[in-house]
Structure formats: structure tokens, C-alpha cells
Structure 1
């Protein structure tokens, strides 16, 4: 009898592995086949004006991504933040921009999005120059965790979406981290699909990162502010998230200031936003 039970369990496990992808594809197809709710359209027009700048085919693709994203991801309100369709659609629209034209999954490691009314405190440890570990608590607009969570401040989410040309968007930033971490490491080198692509990616990213670090040091010494947000000089992971924000919100300027960087991001995201 124990052997029979083990055999049955093994067969059930095999059946699950075979059937799971088909079930997921069916469920997502069903979500995308539903009509996009009129109220969600009104939310996009009111809260995410950048959607209207997309070509018509990408607008349609984005709406289908939003439908799947909202069917699969849980939203949790924190510190009294209510979770409404306005919150869910506004966040999903910005997160799904990074999925346009790209094969793959809907942030497979992500289970839930936590939303605070405003900036929230995050405790972390930092090692100073003397090697002493210090505990700090910083206010943050967003966080991306490898444990399957993205945390966002709702007021900064709205502010980032309201101006699609300022190069600052906390949702795009944190979901770029989610893409980055799909390789198992959050290091500024997301899954490029082909091993031979990493050499060019590394060369371009490292050069631009080094330039930003130099420009940030010069700014601290009284020089002009660099084109890219100095926060990107924190480390390569933050650099990737920062340049992703600029790629989607200031693509023409990025293509002029850093043409090689723009080309690498355009190849990765399979988009050419400078032409929109």
C-alpha cells in the first residue's frame, strides 16, 4: 500500500507540472478576453496620462497586461491606506510598462504590493568607514524585496505618474528592481536572454555608471548636477533602476546624452520610446 500511495503522489506531481503551464495560460487568456472596464479607462486617463502617449497597439497590449496583473497580484493597504481600483490600476499600469513587447512572466517572484499613504520608514544596517555596523531608519517612497514584495507610497506613486516627462517614477524604479532580481541577484544585470549579450551590456552600463559616479563627485564639489539622478551612483542595481525611469520618461534626452545606454535599454525592453 505505501508503494501505491507514493506512486499515485508521484503521478499527481507529474500531472501538476504538465498541467500547470496550461492552466496559467488559460487563466491569463480568460482575463485578457474580458472587456477592459470603462472605469479603469477613466482611471488611466486621470491618473496615468503617459498611457495616452503610447502607440495604439502598445496601449491595447498594456491594458491586457493590466488585466492579468490585477488578476494575479495581491494589494495590501498599510497604515490605513485603502485599496481601491484607482490604487490597483494606477500601480499596475506603470508596472506593466516594463512588460511591453517582452516575452516572459508577470514578475513571477512577486506575490503582493504593499501600499502606504506616504513615505514609510525602513530599518537597515550600514557599515561606516571604520567597519562599524550602524542601524538606521530612512524614509522611503518605494522598496523592492526579493521575498516577493514591492512596497510603495501612494502619494509618490501619484506624483510619479502625473508627469510622464520628468524622469522620476517610483513604480517604474521598483519594478525595474523586480526584473533585475529575476536572475537571483539584484546587481544591475537582468536576464538578457542570451549569454553573449552580457559583454556589451556590462561595457555600456559600467561606462555610464562610472561617468555618473564621477559627475556626482564633481557635483558634491560644487559642479553642475548630472543629467542622470545622482542616486543612480549608489550601486549598479540602483543605476539600472534610475536609467529605466529615464528611458521611459525622458527617452529623447537619454538617446542624445547617452546614445549607447539608450540602445542597450531599447534592446532589452524591446521598445523605442524616443519615437513615440
Structure 2
């Protein structure tokens, strides 16, 4: 029994200083953190790595550097909260690039439609894993465009803690007593509907024969999307709006704050972190 108690008291392994410094240099989303925040983030990352397996798939080998980058970004949203928000997670699976997922959907007539599509990331409900494409995650590090695949998928996992991803994450008594759930629903619903209208207006400016395989069309889409406060994927549904807004909150919040100030205010209250607002 004494041995078991000692094992449970055992501290998580420490991250070597050089490895931690290199990880920080490689991730612009962490540049805003102060020294005290970074020390807490490192300790939380060490606990995350001790509690959750990060494994490769599709022939991909997860190095210490890759595992550290993923864990540090996963811990950023819960920096001032608790790792218990990730308790319902089997682990993290990393593919070298986009992976194929089979989807199924039942239409209004009761007909089941099935198809396969490549995906960059996926968060699985009911104790499932977070699945990532390292190529896509790495691209977010290299292009500071407000996107962050790792944060996006782990925010979905947080959202699932309230009974399925729906854009309304669990409000914890220890941290979120100041949040009015009714106001959260009202503010996020209004912002989501407004963002859908913005994305619809943007898409009407695309070529009538828009083709995702046409580089010129894709360039036009990217150009138009720059006029939006965040990635247009947030218009898919309320869960994606919450995840994409959270990405922007942690990476490039200025445009989000200008368009949806109350959303940023609520995200500050939820994550207990201040966004970098434009002066």
C-alpha cells in the first residue's frame, strides 16, 4: 500500500529546458504569455504528457519535439482551468498528413448517405481520441493566419464535456460562476447567425463555377476570406463557431474582438485569459 501511495505521488517527468525553449520559439500562439504563465504552462504540459499518450498512425513517428508541441497547445485553453476538461479522452493520435474518415448522414427521407473525405483533425466524443494531421498542424505554426488545428480540436473536446459538441462548453462551479448561461447562448447565437450571413455574402462573390481544385478559385476564396473576422469554417454549425472563435481568441483576436466584442468578453471569462485586443 505504501508503494502505491508513493507511485501516485510521483511527479511527472520534467521537460528539458532546451526542448521547452525550442518549442516556445516554434509556436507564435504562445508568444503573448508572461513568464509566470509560461511556467504554469510548462508544469501543466508535463502533467498532460504523463497522463495522455500521444501516438503515431499511418507510419508516422511522434518525436519528443512533436509530442511537446501538441501537448503545450492543448494545455493553452486550460491554462487557468483544469486538465479534468480532457479527462474524457483516450489519447492523441497523429497522422503524417490528412487522413480519410468515413461519414454517414440520414436525410429527411430516412435515406442513409455515406462518403469518405480527407480530414486534418477530428475530436471523437464519448471517451474518444483527438486525431491530428501533423502536416496541417505544422502549417499553422508556419503561417500565422489565426488558425490553430490543435487548439481547435481540443476546444471541441472541452465542448463535448457538456454532453456533445454544441458550442456551449461545461461551466465549472470553481471557475465560471460569473458566466450567465442564458447570456452565453444569446450572444453566441446572435454572433453565429451574423457570421453565417457574412460568409454567405462572401461566397456570393466567388465565381459561379467555383471549383476547389482550381488554384485561381482557391486564391480568390482566400483573398475574400481575409475580410472575415475568423475562418469561414466557423459558419458550419455552432460547435465549429465556438472552436474557430477560440482559435482566433488565442492566436489573432483583434479582428474577432472588433466584430464580436461580447464573444471575446465571454471567452475571456471562460478561459480566464485576456485576449490581445487592438488599441
Same fold (TM over 0.5): yes
Name the SS of the counterpart of 2:47 in structure 1: helix
Please give the alpha-carbon distance, in whole angstroms, between the structure 2 residues aligned to 1:65 and 1:107.
12
State TM-score, norm by structure 1.
0.83
Q: Does 1:222 align with 2:205?
A: yes
Q: Match of 1:111?
A: 90
Aligned length, in residue pairs: 252
Kindly state the Cα deviation for residue 116 of structure 1 after the two structures are TM-superposed: 0.3
Structure with bigger gyration radius: 1
Question: Which structure is higher in helix share?
Answer: 1
Name the SS of the counterpart of 1:105 in structure 2: helix
Gaps of at least 5 residues in structure 1 are 1-18
Q: Is the 8 A contact 2:230 2:255 kept in 1?
A: no
Q: Is the 8 A contact 1:177 1:237 kept in 2?
A: yes
Please give the alpha-carbon distance, in whole angstroms, between the structure 1 residues aligned to 2:33 and 2:159.
24
Kindly state the Cα deviation for residue 275 of structure 1 after the two structures are TM-superposed: 5.8
Q: Match of 2:256?
A: 254
Name the SS of the counterpart of 1:139 in structure 2: strand
Name the SS of the counterpart of 1:69 in structure 2: helix
Task: Note closer, same or farther for the CA distance 1:23–1:270 as it changes in structure 2 (3 Å cut).
Answer: farther
Kindly state the Cα deviation for residue 128 of structure 1 after the two structures are TM-superposed: 5.0
Please give the alpha-carbon distance, in whole angstroms, between the structure 2 residues aligned to 1:127 and 1:168.
31
Q: Match of 1:181?
A: 160
Name the SS of the counterpart of 1:208 in structure 2: helix
Please give the alpha-carbon distance, in whole angstroms, between the structure 2 residues aligned to 1:98 and 1:161.
17
Kindly state the Cα deviation for residue 236 of structure 1 after the two structures are TM-superposed: 0.8
Gaps of at least 5 residues in structure 2 are 207-223
Please give the alpha-carbon distance, in whole angstroms, between the structure 1 residues aligned to 2:65 and 2:37.
21
Kindly state the Cα deviation for residue 148 of structure 1 after the two structures are TM-superposed: 2.4
Kindly state the Cα deviation for residue 38 of structure 1 after the two structures are TM-superposed: 2.4
Q: Does 1:154 align with 2:156?
A: no
Kindly state the Cα deviation for residue 110 of structure 1 after the two structures are TM-superposed: 1.1
